[in-house]
Structure 1
Amino acid sequence: MPFKKFATRRIASLAAVPALLLAGACANTGASYQPVIDGPVGPNYSADLYSCQQIAASQGALGSDAAQNTAVAAGAAAAGTALVNNRGSNVRDAAAVGAIAGLAGSALQQQQAKENIIKNCMRGRGYKVVG
């Protein structure tokens, strides 16, 4: 197998690694986020946190701009590959990797939005959220 073809396949298969690492690092993110509170917490802390996490969980896995982010990332990756190495299979592979990157970016943005929902919700319930 020529090196160029081997390298292209290798890169395409390695593109899934960041997505797997991101999925494994989501223990205290998104709707499962537990904010850092400054000061004592009262007896209602657990119930308040649970309620805020449920509000955040109702937002879904991807934001409303997920399709746009996916299309832009796929198009940019395909266009860049077409300029450098104008071969159909390379352009297709680059578009697929770009689409995966766009989806992962949208999922990460949505996770951060959920964390902000929890922080704001807890602040609204009187807690001093510092992180």
Structure 2
Amino acid sequence: MRNLLKISSIPLVLAVAACGNTGSNYQPVIDGPVSANYGADLAQCQNLAAQQGALASDTAAQVATGAGVAAAGTAVFNNNNNNVRDAAALGALAGLTAGALEQNSNKEVIIRNCMRQRGYKVVG
């Protein structure tokens, strides 16, 4: 299980690291003409989104929930040596990844709303 923990945690850690600023690079789909200020408006809205943290505000709860659920499930079904600890660590990493993905979604919403407030017809 220890090797499984090391191997399976690598993609989760990489996913969290890769998501660090992707939400703030989002470019919304605009319906209709764009003004000459579109580039500057988009850059300002992306900058506003980038000022938000890398993780959602409820990430700590997601980490604790992931760790608890994974540890409890392992304790009930496969309590063998360090399996509970390893499962809790994987659950915590899954919660951390969920918090990072949620924050990326939040950043995209910030950019869409910002562009709408600047008069653009944002459709996605």
Which residue pairs with 2:87 in the alignment?
A: 94
Which residue pairs with 1:16 in the alignment?
A: 10
CA distance in 1, matches of 2:82, 2:4: 13
Unaligned runs of 5+ in 2: none
Measured after TM superposition, the shift of residue 127 of structure 1 is 0.6
Which residue pairs with 1:121 in the alignment?
A: 114
CA distance in 2, matches of 1:29, 1:129: 19
Cα RMSD (Å) = 1.9
Paired-residue identity, %: 60
Which residue pairs with 1:44 in the alignment?
A: 37
Residue correspondences, number: 123
| 2:50 aligned with 1:57 | yes
Deviation string 1:25-60 (CA, Å, 9 cap, x unpaired) is x5x941110111111211100100011011111111
SS across alignment from 2:86 = helix
| 2:104 aligned with 1:111 | yes
Amino acid at match of 2:10: A
- Give the alignment's TM-score, normalised by structure 2: 0.89
Amino acid at match of 1:16: I
Q: Are the aligned partners of 1:33 and 1:53 in contact in 2 as well (CA < 8 Å)?
A: yes
Which residue pairs with 2:25 in the alignment?
A: 32
Measured after TM superposition, the shift of residue 95 of structure 1 is 0.4
Q: Are the aligned partners of 2:15 and 2:97 in contact in 1 as well (CA < 8 Å)?
A: no
Unaligned runs of 5+ in 1: 1-7
CA distance in 2, matches of 1:45, 1:106: 31
CA distance in 2, matches of 1:130, 1:66: 29
CA distance in 1, matches of 2:32, 2:104: 26
Q: Which is bigger in relative contact order (C-alpha 8 A, separation at least 6)? A: 2
